């Protein structure tokens, strides 16, 4: 299957190009659309985006490598991003980490065999007063305890 | 004075993030006065207000604006720094979430003052909800004629675009932000030229934080002098102070500058949780840590923080109680900075990760007393030797943690008395230290 944006995504992208005097500035927005369209940024996707934006492949590659939120491999259906910086650490983020490592049997960077969960450690999610915090896909889950987190995981499993 | 609200005044009103509700409670009321003023006069009012940038550096906002070349033929850009990624800091998101129209109103005021017709809001990628709320608010503002061509018949045109980051702390640094907006890695640029002269797309650019910009409509409406009367002489106006860590009620509160820290701590976050106060990071993780004794005569103002050899930063405080292991606490910060270094400057790239590895050695009880001195020595060799301040942002907490809480660190290390450069050599060559 050749990599290509859907017609709707292409239209959305072309509208975004009108926001900037230089098309190269659309690289980050283009990658966001690509991630939504294809789930992650493969080499083929990078090549497609490079052509779309009009920059060399290597520019796309270094940008994808630089930013943590672009997935270079397919994440789980639920991507668990645990904040481990100071406020979350003080509030018990390590307990949540143990839960993920032991109960879900996931090390940072791994995806569960059934593809349901993937796990990534994060540096400061900007939610220090509601620590500890886990971002799951687009949503923040705040003021976590192991019990609360367990209930969230069970609920996600049930809804799958 | 304590109950003056400039940034959070509509936070308690349900659905104030919708235009209809915001309008009923005064949103966009500064625009009529704004368009009756000359842009230069707006800059003057902001200078008079003595508003300082709330993003951390505390540079006078009006002065920054006045650095734009008067005779420029190039377009002028405004970049709103909504990248909020400094550990301990989390208040910009609530302006975007609860009162996006205040931010948009601030952007109109600021753009008009600096004669810009295009503004970009650079929002950190993780803030998906805030992105959606802002996006909807911008659409409402566009339809109602607050954004776009000939705003409210004033003849002034302004486009505001949202631009989403993708998870990199360095994009909160103003030139890193500009690089990222241009579609590159967020690697900071050497200054000068300063962005006000040559920034986004090589054009004059002002980068201001969300809270800074959201303060401008009040200044335009009420005048710079009225704003300067709030707070203290050098710290005018209000700020949203955020508190996390070991307190009974973490959260955020808008207050005029100047309150005594210990009074604030008892009154708002309801005191220290789980024991006595041990340490305070006053304004985001890069600001040097203070001991409980140092907090005795600390006030929430730029000048009091400076007198304590630390900074007000973003106003995002992290409180630690007496049971906190300062070595483990510092480890989370060295890891943060080594992860987030953009890798461009050697002292930062190597220094942050070396500090982080040393912290691992200390925590694993492999280190000696000399390595505590090495932490300081490495820090001294990072600060001021790089393009941006990330190296200093790591060096400052390391130096202050180790010097002020040395006994915490000494519990982990073996005493040894060989010269520090020998220790460094041995670590590099992976030899045992004691031999």
- Top pLDDT among B347 and B430 is at B347
Which of the four pLDDT bands, split at 50, 70 and 90, describes residue B418? confident
Q: What percent of chain A clears pLDDT 90, i.e. is strictly above it?
A: 98
Put simply, the answer to whether A68 touches B166 (Cβ < 8 Å) is: yes
How many whole angstroms separate alpha carbon B108 and alpha carbon B213? 9
**Alpha carbons B330 and B402: distance in angstroms, whole number:** 9
User: According to the model, what pLDDT value does residue B172 have?
Assistant: 96
For A51-110, what is each residue's pLDDT tens digit? 999 999 999 999 999 999 999 999 999 999 999 999 999 999 999 999 999 999 999 999
Say yes or no to pLDDT of B354 above 60: yes
Residue B1 scores a pLDDT above 70: no
pLDDT value, residue B88: 97
Chain B interface disruption, residue of A49, A58, A61, A86, most B CBs within 10 A? A86
Average pLDDT over residues B216-233: 98
pTM of the prediction?
Answer: 0.95
Task: Kindly state the average pLDDT of the residues B333-356.
Answer: 97
| Closest among A123, A43, A53 to A81, alpha carbons compared | A123
A145 touches chain B (CB under 8 A): no
93-122 in chain A: CB under 8 A from chain B: none
The pLDDT of residue B434 is 63
Provide the pLDDT for residue B92: 97
Looking at the predicted structure, is the pLDDT value of residue B435 above 60? Answer: no
State the pLDDT at residue B2: 67
ipTM > 0.95 for the complex: yes
- From A84, which residue of chain B is nearest by alpha-carbon distance? B332
Distance (Å) from the alpha carbon of A41 to chain B's nearest alpha carbon: 13
Angle between helices B326-340 and B346-363 (to 10 degrees): 150
Give the pLDDT confidence of B46-59 residue by residue, as tens digits. 999 999 999 999 99
Chain A residue whose CA is closest to B184: A63
CA gap A157, B264 in Å, rounded = 44
B369-382 and B420-428 helices, crossing angle to 10°: 90
**Residue A24 pLDDT level (bands cut at 50, 70, 90):** very high
Return the pLDDT at B223: 98
Band (pLDDT 50/70/90 cuts) for residue A1 is low
| A71-74 contact pairs (CB < 8 A, 24+) | A71/A35, A71/A39, A71/A40, A71/A41, A72/A40, A72/A41, A72/A42, A73/A40, A73/A111, A74/A39, A74/A40, A74/A111, A74/A115
What is the residue-averaged pLDDT of chain B?
A: 96
pLDDT tens string B248-304:
999 999 999 999 999 999 999 999 999 999 999 999 999 999 999 999 999 999 999
Residue B149 has pLDDT above 70, yes or no: yes
pLDDT in tens, B74-87: 999 999 999 999 99
**pLDDT at residue B368 is higher than 80:** yes
Residue A71 contacts B where some CB pair is shorter than 8 Å: no
Q: Does A52 touch chain B (CB under 8 A)?
A: no
Q: What is the pLDDT of residue A117?
A: 97
For residue B230, is pLDDT > 70? Answer: yes
Asked if A154 and A104 count as a contact pair (C-beta separation under 8 A), the reply is no
Is residue B339 less than 8 Å (CB to CB) from chain A?
yes
Average pLDDT over residues B344-365: 97
Q: Pick from A22, A29, A127: which is nearest to B182 by CB?
A: A22
Pick A87's closest partner by Cβ from B185, B245, B252: B245
Cβ–Cβ contact A86 with B under 8 A: yes
As a whole number, mean pLDDT of residues B364-392 equals 95
Tell whether the model's pLDDT for residue B427 goes beyond 90. Answer: no
Q: Could you tell me what percent of chain B has a pLDDT over 70? A: 99
Residues of A in contact with B333 (CB under 8 A): 85-86
Segment B78-101 mean pLDDT: 97
Top pLDDT among B29 and B415 is at B29
Length of chain B: 435
- List, for residues B104-130, the tens digit of each pLDDT value: 999 999 999 999 999 999 999 999 999
The alpha carbon of residue B128 is apart from the nearest alpha carbon of chain A, in Å, by 6
Residues of chain B with pLDDT > 90: what percent?
94
What local confidence, expressed as pLDDT, does residue A96 receive? 97
If you measure CA to CA, which chain A residue comes closest to B128? A138
Cβ separation B180–A53 shorter than 8 A:
no
Section B196-224 average pLDDT: 98
pLDDT at B203 over 80: yes
pLDDT single digits (tens) B183-199: 999 999 999 999 999 99
Q: Does A41 touch chain B (CB under 8 A)?
A: no
């Amino acid at each position: 299957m050749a990599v290509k944006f859907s017609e709707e995504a292409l239209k959305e992208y072309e509208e975004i190009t009108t926001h900037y005097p230089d098309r190269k500035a659309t690289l980050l927005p283009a990658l966001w659309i690509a991630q939504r369209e294809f789930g992650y940024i493969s080499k083929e996707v990078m090549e497609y985006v490079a052509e779309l934006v009009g920059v060399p492949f290597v520019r796309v590659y270094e940008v994808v490598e630089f930013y943590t939120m672009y997935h270079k491999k397919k994440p789980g259906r639920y991507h668990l991003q645990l904040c481990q910086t100071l406020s979350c650490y003080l509030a018990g983020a390590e307990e949540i980490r143990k839960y993920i490592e032991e109960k879900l049997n996931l090390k940072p960077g791994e995806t569960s065999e059934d593809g349901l969960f993937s796990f990534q450690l994060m540096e400061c999610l900007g939610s220090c007063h509601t620590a500890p915090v886990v971002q799951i896909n687009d949503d923040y889950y705040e003021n976590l305890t192991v019990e609360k987190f367990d209930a969230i995981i069970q609920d996600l499993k049930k809804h799958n | 004075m304590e109950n003056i609200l400039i940034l959070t005044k509509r936070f308690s009103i349900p659905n104030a993030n919708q235009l209809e509700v915001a309008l009923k409670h005064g949103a966009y009321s500064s625009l009529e006065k704004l368009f009756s003023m000359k842009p230069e006069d707006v800059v003057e009012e902001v200078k008079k207000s003595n508003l300082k940038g709330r993003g951390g550096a505390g540079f006078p906002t009006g002065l920054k604006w006045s650095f734009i070349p008067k005779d420029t033929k190039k377009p002028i850009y405004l970049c709103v720094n909504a990248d909020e990624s400094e550990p301990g800091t989390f208040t910009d998101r609530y302006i975007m979430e609860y009162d996006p129209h205040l931010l948009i109103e601030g952007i109109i005021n600021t753009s008009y003052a600096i004669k810009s017709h295009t503004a970009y809001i650079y929002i950190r990628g993780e803030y998906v909800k805030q992105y959606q709320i802002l996006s909807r608010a911008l659409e409402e503002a566009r339809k109602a004629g607050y954004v776009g061509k000939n705003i409210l018949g004033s003849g002034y045109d302004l486009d505001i675009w949202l631009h989403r980051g993708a998870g990199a702390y360095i994009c909160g640094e103003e030139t890193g932000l500009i690089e990222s907006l241009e579609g590159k890695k967020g690697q900071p640029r050497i200054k000068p030229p300063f962005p006000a002269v040559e920034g986004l797309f090589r054009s004059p650019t002002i980068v201001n934080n969300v809270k800074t910009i959201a303060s401008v409509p009040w200044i335009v409406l009420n005048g710079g002098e009225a704003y300067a009367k709030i707070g203290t002489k050098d710290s005018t106006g209000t700020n949203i102070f955020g508190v996390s860590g070991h307190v009974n009620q973490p959260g955020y509160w808008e207050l005029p500058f100047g309150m005594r820290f210990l009074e604030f701590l008892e009154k708002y976050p309801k005191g220290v949780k789980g024991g006595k106060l041990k340490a305070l990071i006053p304004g985001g993780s890069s600001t040097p840590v203070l001991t409980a004794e140092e907090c005795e005569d600390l006030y929430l103002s730029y000048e009091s923080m400076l007198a304590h050899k630390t900074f007000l930063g973003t106003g995002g405080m992290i409180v630690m109680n007496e049971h906190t292991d300062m070595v483990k606490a510092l480890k989370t910060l060295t890891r943060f900075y080594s992860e987030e270094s953009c890798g461009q400057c050697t002292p930062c790239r190597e220094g942050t990760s070396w500090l982080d590895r040393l912290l691992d050695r200390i925590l694993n009880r492999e280190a000696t007393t000399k390595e505590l001195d090495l932490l300081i020595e490495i820090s001294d060799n990072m600060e001021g030797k790089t393009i941006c301040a990330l190296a200093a942002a790591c060096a400052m907490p390391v130096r202050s943690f180790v010097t002020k809480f040395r006994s915490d660190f000494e519990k982990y290390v073996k005493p040894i008395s060989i010269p520090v450069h020998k220790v460094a050599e041995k670590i590099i060559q992976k030899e045992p230290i004691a031999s």
